Amino acid sequence: AQRVTQPEKLLSVFKGAPVELKCNYSYSGSPELFWYVQYSRQRLQLLLRHISRESIKGFTADLNKGETSFHLKKPFAQEEDSAMYYCALSGRGTYKYIFGTGTRLKVLA
């Protein structure tokens, strides 16, 4: 079955601490993985995608096909990182798009 799992509903960290938001997936084909973010009172927006291998706002994510994971990491959390984060999967060659249930990140001062 195609599935995206985000095991943590809420993650609280202190400002300056490292952050890791977990994402595991189940997909039989070749997946494309994404992270979306929704700040308070703002729209859902793309944060980064694995094919770009980019760092956005200090966040990075590496696709680990062996562990079927795509964890989002940032070495030093900032208060403005507080938001809802969704991991999403799309099947290469398909038009399917699957979101995880999201993790709320709270960065404490």
Residues interacting with another protein, by CB under 8 A?
Answer: 4, 32, 43-46, 49, 51, 86, 88, 90-102
Using CA atoms of 82, 83, 84, 90 in order, give the dihedral in degrees to the nearest 10. Answer: -100
Q: Which two tokens stand for residue 60?
A: 């990075």
Distance of alpha carbon 51 from alpha carbon 18, whole angstroms: 23
* Residue pair 24/69 in contact by the 8 Å Cβ criterion: yes
Give least dist CB 33 to another protein, A: 11
Between 28 and 95, CB nearer to another protein? 95
Give least dist CB 63 to another protein, A: 14
Between 76 and 97, CB nearer to another protein? 97
